[in-house]
Amino acid sequence: MKKIGFLGPRGTFTEMAAKFLFPQDERIPLKTIPRTIDLAFNKGTDYAVVPIENAIEGTVNVTLDYLIHQKPMPIVGAVSIGIAHHLLSASRKEFASVAPKKIISHPQALAQCHRFIQEHFPDVKVEHADSTAQAAAWLAKHQDDDVCVIANREAANLYGLSIVAEDIHDYRENQTRFLVVSSGHQQEQFVTKEPHVGEVTTLMITLPSDFTGALHQVLSAFAWRKLNLSKIESRPTKTGLGNYFFIIDVQQLMDDVLLPGAIAELNALGCKVDVLGSYYTYSDQLTRVEK
């Protein structure tokens, strides 16, 4: 049995992702995303499951930055999970009579429900929690009728809270992608019964200095080889204003010819290229049953 660290407590979306890929393994809830990554880095777990990107709100910067700048570890898998947010209260009420003074949740969840909050509770104080389930656990403990939290159905059930508004995320097709990173402790590739839905190699590309047409040249190394890209993102190197690197997802596993050729071409241009991982992707959309 493997040890899988995830952003806890029980009832987070990250737990759903970890359970989907590792239903039989020991899942260990951690308080924050950095702590989840730290424990795997220090070989306290075999794998960490961490959110990386949401369809509405974009990149989970803390995950990306922490993995790149603090604790680099190979990405060995990714899974997309359908995300449905609900408004929860300590006591059962009609939505019309819900009048919280405060709404608590994870910043990503609050951002994904921004329009709902603006429309129904424009003057209510919004407070950040380490995770959606952590906000739910707090409300279960404090039974405060002036507070609502945003979390999933699993958290409502686990912590005995009532759903006072369902599906409050601003866009219907809401999904979050989670990465599986390896402590390098066991074999890097993990085994799952789920069929994979895609293949990705994630590259981090640092340009030598800002030169004209740099991004164009980087992209053409992939384009003429017909290497399909599914994501390109720039993040600050944190070495000074205007210094960026690119994270690029190529839609295939590392091979012997095309990707090494593209990397050699980028190296010849003076770019530094790090392979952050080459892995299968999974999705719960094939198997998910709407509740």
Ligand X SMILES: O=C(O)C(=O)C[C@]1(C(=O)O)C=C[C@@H](O)C=C1
Point out which residues bind ligand X (CB under 6 A). 7, 12-14, 51, 54, 60, 83, 106, 108-109, 131-133, 176
Q: At what angle do helices 214-223 and 258-268 cross, to 10 degrees?
A: 160
Nearest distance in Å: CB 62, ligand X: 8
Instruction: Between 133 and 158, name the residue whose CB sits nearer to ligand X.
Output: 133
Asked whether 110 and 128 are in contact (CB, 8 A), the reply is yes
Q: Among 108, 114, 61, which residue's Cα sits nearest to residue 83?
A: 108
- The residue written with tokens 């990107």 in the block is 53
Distance CA(137)–CA(32), nearest Å, equals 15
- The residue written with tokens 């390109």 in the block is 232
Q: Among 132, 148, 161, 139, which residue's Cα sits nearest to residue 99?
A: 148
Nearest distance in Å: CB 14, ligand X: 4
Distance CA(54)–CA(119), nearest Å, equals 22
Nearest distance in Å: CB 232, ligand X: 20
Nearest distance in Å: CB 193, ligand X: 23
Instruction: Between 136 and 207, name the residue whose CB sits nearer to ligand X.
Output: 136
Take residue 279 and report the two structure tokens written for it.
Answer: 């892995």
- State the DSSP code for 284: G
Instruction: Between 83 and 271, name the residue whose CB sits nearer to ligand X.
Output: 83
**Beta-bridge partners for 126:** 103
Instruction: Between 130 and 188, name the residue whose CB sits nearer to ligand X.
Output: 130
Q: Among 31, 1, 49, which residue's Cα sits nearest to residue 181?
A: 49
Instruction: Between 155 and 273, name the residue whose CB sits nearer to ligand X.
Output: 155
DSSP string, 47-90: EEEEEEEETTTEE-HHHHHIIIII----EEEEEEEE---EEEES
For the chain, the straight-line distance linking the first and the last C-alpha, in angstroms and rounded, comes to 30
Helix (H, G, I), strand (E, B) or coil at 157: helix
Nearest distance in Å: CB 133, ligand X: 5
Nearest distance in Å: CB 134, ligand X: 7
Nearest distance in Å: CB 276, ligand X: 19
Instruction: Between 14 and 182, name the residue whose CB sits nearer to ligand X.
Output: 14
HSE-CB at 143 with a 13 A cutoff on CA atoms is 3
Instruction: Between 109 and 276, name the residue whose CB sits nearer to ligand X.
Output: 109
